[in-house]
Amino acid sequence: MSEAPLVSIENLTISLPGNNGGRLFPVRDVSLSIGAGEIVGLAGESGSGKTITALSLLGLLPPGGRMSGHIRFGGQDLLTLRPREMADVRGRDIAMVFQDPMTALHPMLSIEKQLTEHLRHHRGIDARAARTRAIELLELVRIPDAARALKRYPHQFSGGMRQRIAIAIALCCEPQLLIADEPTTALDVTVQAGILRLLQQLRGELGLSVLLITHDMGVMSALSDRVVIMYAGRVVETGTRTDVLQHPRHPYTHSLLGALPHEQGDDMLLQPMRGTPPSIGALPPGCPFHPRCDWAEGRCRDIEPGLRVVEADRGIACVVDPLVGVPA
Amino acid sequence: MTNAAPATANLHSPTGKLRSAWLQPLGLVGATLLLIMIIAALLAPWILPHEPNAQAFGRFLAPNATNWFGTDQLGRDIFSRVVHGARVSMPYALQLVVMAAVIGTIAGAIAGYFGGWIDGVIMRAADLVMAFPDIILAMAVVAALGPNLFNAVLAVVVVSWPIYARVVRSLILTLRDEPYVQSSRLLGASSGRALWKDIRPNVAGPVVVLAALEYGHAVLILSGLSFLGLGAQPPTAEWGSMVSEGAKYFDKWWMSAFPGLAILVVVLAANFLGDTLRDAFDPKSAKAFR
Amino acid sequence: MSLLEIRGLEVTYAGHAGTRVRAVAHADLDVEAGQIVALVGESGCGKSSLGKAAVGLIAPSAGSIRFGGEPLDPLKRGGRPKAQRKLQMVFQDPFSSLNPRRRIGDLIAEGGRVASEAGETPMSVGECLERVGLSAAFADRFPHQFSGGQRQRIAIARALAARPRCIVADEPISALDASAQAAVANLLVSIVRDLDMGLLFISHDLAIVRSIADVTSVMYLGKIVESGSSAAVWRDPLHPYTRSLIAAIPRPDGKGTLPRDLPGDVPDPAHPPAGCRFHPRCPSVMAVCREREPQREALQPLRTAACFVASTANPAHDRPVATNFVA
């Protein structure tokens, strides 16, 4: 990255109150960056910490949560902002789209109301200008017959349309970064394809950066420029989409790709991983993946590996690094 | 070791839910208060310095060293009467709540399980009862049966059972469609067996919570009926009737204030306890005890 | 005679304002012993309704279901007939498929009772747990102490304890993590093969289904539009909807190709389009598709589709009536 990235998360650690008065660390020493106009995919299973990392960008931690590290955005460190200042950034410079389109929209307000309210709050423009902008936004997300759509209510739209509207609301103040947390998981696969295409178009037309959080490696592959894989609160692998998905170097990435249905000649294979992801309250010593790892050695139990840069724009968190040069 | 707890600048403890810190102590407070009153009520005959009905002191004495709560128009010690009042209101209210809960639960279970016209009849009966303000209906029942404490309890049971019936019925209807109930049916359990083995354990919790929340309400209505002269009759020391007597002598504030305070404390305590129990039983609540 | 035979099934619900919604509009399906049949479709296609009707949880409004040659009755107030208890179901949500207040040993033993009542030696609770990859020591625990994938295994163990001859699994892995999905899917397959059971696997995930099922049937808006061996359906789909479905799946191959989207929305099942239900969205629509509804026909050996476009493209075919496939 020759130019400074748009967002740079450095050594982020998040702690939450645990059940017995102690603290849990669902995110430990996570660093990742997103460039302008770049789509970065953040992948991981449940318990990997991907969603809470995204929420930290918006300052939306659960009660009792604390963060340390730096989140550099627009010349500021977001972690030093006061709640009021953070509220300004949220929605205006960084916006988020959530998984469930059914609950993302207010069921009792018209689409026009939901779009313009946001605009008028952040930008203080008048009703007429807000309405014009609202129509623009609906057209941007390819909702047919935008002027009529403004008058309707969420329940009159399908899941895919609602998600598009949610994206329009997120974009109303022209944010630089859009965080999409599992934006298509609740949608049918044919509808999902449309939303993925839309996100790519928006990146092209608006220069929008996207942090795409997903557990679906196919979605990651279709849309991301770069990929960040998280496991049990740590980043375990980063790199370009092609590198990571075609030549995964971390054992977890390799096993995960193997556990997905993948074609091999005339067959479709499914190779399960053994074990389950650990819960944050009961992490194994050393590397959190070592109990499930086919290449684990003795030292894996002693050291929790940090992310190491192994090539240009490629990092893995593994002391054994057994997969150099092995294709997926 | 990269895992050491980092030095955190305590930024962003965002919108901490203070309630979650509050609510548990509140339950303890509620339970403790109730416990104190129950113990005092049980031990009353032995620990109290004076007889509740003994007209042993000067009339209308303000609270003093001998009569902590003062005396009433017949020279009786109000403190003893208030404590004895607990022996009336609290057990009767408990009895009432248990009877209403049992009747209501059975009615609701039958309505939910059988459906059809039985459901219709039971639910319409419940609607009928709930259409009236509870105290008015209770008054009507007591007036018909004759004003005494036993009939007052009966009247409040008549007025209270519908809420249990409604809650239990809707629980049963919801739980009937849960996959784990369907899976039992597929394994051969009849509707009745599924009701008993799978649904019943999941109904008990909410009913207990409801009963705890209703307890304070029961105390209140019972006291209200007594206040109106339709419940406990003189000379029984009962909070509601004591408040009523004290209302005739307004400047002697201690005659109404202390029994009224007793009612307040019990109702609040029951509510705190009920709230905490409800949170404890709610599987979705973060405050649920495990 | 198939193990599970569904003919002309229709499932109708009362919709809003007096409309009737045909969730399943005339479906034929067969499952043989030792065979895995997948039923694939997106939301609203009726696959769950078909699954529930197949085990008797809901009553069909038309058509017949036969299990082991005998007609299957929907569940009534009494207990389920003994013979039908050999047809079990695994549900989608691992969090509500086990009673939170009962120990899992107790839950599995209930399944075992079915087997003893049928005169068979029941599998012990420990055996069932081990067969699904869990330790026998877990029998005393409660469901909330387990992860989603483990709970699904317990649900399978419970069904297994009844020694079923056929299992209907309604989206059994959709709610699980990717690593658990593969494991539970493989578990189901191994159980079915070992015990020569039939499995009706309902899913929206064509790729998973391709890996584990022998036969795949594709459903759209209440109708089965295509059916055939999984390999053939995947490699050479006959119906345009199947083709769109396959093209819409994003591949985790690192190539960055966007999957093809299918424009339009699934129509309201209460008011399906005239003619072929898929025609408003079909990329290959012809005039006849708007007027008449295509019937299911065998267009190639052991493959059926309900599509005018497909039958035009496959003219040289016998028209065998049988629609069951043996792997």
Residues A150/A112, Cβ–Cβ less than 8 Å: yes
- Residue from C48, C92, C99 whose CB has the most chain B CBs within 10 Å, to mutate: C99
Estimate the crossing angle of helix A159-171 against helix A189-206, to 10 degrees: 20
Q: How confident is the model at residue C166 (pLDDT cuts 50, 70, 90)?
A: very high
Residues C254/C75, Cβ–Cβ less than 8 Å: no
Closest Cβ opposite residue B12 in set A13, A25, A61: A61
Q: How confident is the model at residue B67 (pLDDT cuts 50, 70, 90)?
A: confident
Q: How confident is the model at residue C322 (pLDDT cuts 50, 70, 90)?
A: very low
Closest Cβ opposite residue A261 in set C211, C258, C263: C211
Tell me which chain A residue has its CA closest to the CA of residue B15.
A63
Q: Is the pLDDT of residue C327 over 50?
A: no
Q: How confident is the model at residue B283 (pLDDT cuts 50, 70, 90)?
A: low
Question: Given an 8 Å threshold on Cβ–Cβ distance, is B190 in contact with C78?
Answer: yes
Query: What would the pLDDT profile of C244-290 be if each residue is shown by its tens digit?
Result: 999 999 999 889 899 998 888 888 888 899 999 999 999 999 999 99
Q: How confident is the model at residue B290 (pLDDT cuts 50, 70, 90)?
A: very low
Percentage, residues of chain C above pLDDT 90: 61
User: B136 burial class (0-12, 13-18, 19+ CB within 10 angstroms)?
Assistant: exposed
Which pair of tokens denotes residue B219? Answer: 């105390």
Which pair of tokens denotes residue C189? Answer: 């397959």
Say yes or no: C135 contacts chain A, CB-CB below 8 A.
Answer: no
pLDDT score at B3: 33
Q: Average pLDDT for residues A228-244, to the nearest whole number? A: 94
Residues of chain A with Cβ-Cβ distance to C253 below 8 Å are: 221, 245-246
Q: Is the pLDDT of residue C154 over 90?
A: yes
Q: How many whole angstroms separate alpha carbon C74 and alpha carbon C62?
A: 12
Alpha-carbon Rg for chain C, nearest whole angstrom, is: 20
Q: Is the pLDDT of residue C198 over 90?
A: yes
Measured between its terminal Cα atoms, the distance across chain C in Å is: 15
Percentage, residues of chain B above pLDDT 70: 88
Residues of chain A with Cβ-Cβ distance to B7 below 8 Å are: 68
Report the gap between the CA of B283 and the closest CA in chain C (Å): 10
Residues C310/C299, Cβ–Cβ less than 8 Å: yes
Q: Is the pLDDT of residue B147 over 90?
A: no
Q: Average pLDDT for residues C122-148, to the nearest whole number? A: 90
Q: Is the pTM of this model over 0.95?
A: no
When the pLDDT of each residue in chain B is averaged and rounded to a whole number, the result is 82
Tell me which chain B residue has its CA closest to the CA of residue A302.
B1
Which pair of tokens denotes residue A170? Answer: 């997120």
Q: Average pLDDT for residues A217-236, to the nearest whole number? A: 94
Closest Cβ opposite residue C101 in set B188, B191, B201: B201
Q: What angle do CA B98, B102, B106 make, to 5 degrees?
A: 170
Residues of chain B with Cβ-Cβ distance to C113 below 8 Å are: 187-188
When the pLDDT of each residue in chain C is averaged and rounded to a whole number, the result is 89
pLDDT score at B132: 93
Tell me which chain A residue has its CA closest to the CA of residue B9.
A68
Say yes or no: C192 contacts chain A, CB-CB below 8 A.
Answer: no
Closest Cβ opposite residue C42 in set A190, A221, A276: A190
ipTM: 0.87
Question: Given an 8 Å threshold on Cβ–Cβ distance, is A276 in contact with C43?
Answer: no
Residues of chain C with Cβ-Cβ distance to A270 below 8 Å are: 182, 185-186, 208, 211-212
Closest Cβ opposite residue C259 in set A188, A196, A270: A196
Which of A163-177, B74-88, C26-40 is the least confident region? B74-88
Q: How confident is the model at residue A201 (pLDDT cuts 50, 70, 90)?
A: very high
How many inter-chain contacts (A to C, CB under 8 Å) are there? 141
Q: Average pLDDT for residues C110-136, to the nearest whole number? A: 87
Say yes or no: C91 contacts chain B, CB-CB below 8 A.
Answer: yes
Say yes or no: C164 contacts chain B, CB-CB below 8 A.
Answer: no
Residues C206/C246, Cβ–Cβ less than 8 Å: yes
Q: Average pLDDT for residues A36-44, to the nearest whole number? A: 94
Query: What would the pLDDT profile of C50-76 be if each residue is shown by its tens digit?
Result: 999 999 999 999 999 999 999 999 988
Percentage, residues of chain A above pLDDT 70: 98
The closest of A211, C171, C144 to B288, measured between CA atoms, is: C144
Q: Is the pLDDT of residue A191 over 60?
A: yes
Tell me which chain A residue has its CA closest to the CA of residue B287.
A19
Residues of chain B with Cβ-Cβ distance to C97 below 8 Å are: 179-180, 183
Q: Average pLDDT for residues B197-217, to the nearest whole number? A: 86
Query: What would the pLDDT profile of C73-105 be if each residue is shown by its tens digit?
Result: 998 888 888 889 999 999 999 889 999 888 999
Q: Average pLDDT for residues B261-288, to the nearest whole number? A: 75
Residue ranges of A 230-289 with Cβ closer than 8 A to chain C: 241-246, 255-257, 259-262, 266-274, 276-277
Q: How confident is the model at residue B233 (pLDDT cuts 50, 70, 90)?
A: confident
Query: What would the pLDDT profile of A132-156 be if each residue is shown by its tens digit?
Result: 999 999 999 999 999 999 999 998 9
Residues of chain C with Cβ-Cβ distance to B182 below 8 Å are: 57, 89, 91
Peptide linkage before C122 cis (omega within 30 of 0): no
- Three-class HEC string of chain A: CCCCCCEEEEEEEEEEECCCCCEEEEEEEEEEEECCCCEEEEECCCCCCHHHHHHHHCCCCCCCCEEEEEEEECCEEHHHCCHHHHHHHHHHCEEEECCCHHHHCCCCCCHHHHHHHHHHHHHCCCHHHHHHHHHHHHHHCCCCCHHHHHHCCHHHCCHHHHHHHHHHHHHCCCCCEEEEECCCCCCCHHHHHHHHHHHHHHHHHHCCEEEEEECCHHHHHHHCCEEEEEECCEEEEEEEHHHHHHCCCCHHHHHHHHHCCEEECCEEECCCCCCCCCCHHHCCCCCCCHHHCCCCCHHHHCCCCCCEEEECCEEECCCCCCCCCCCC
Give me the phi and psi of C39, to 5 degrees please: -115, 115
Report the gap between the CA of C64 and the closest CA in chain A (Å): 30
Tell me which chain A residue has its CA closest to the CA of residue C207.
A261
Q: Is the pLDDT of residue A13 over 60?
A: yes
Report the gap between the CA of C267 and the closest CA in chain B (Å): 27
Which pair of tokens denotes residue C113? Answer: 């009772």
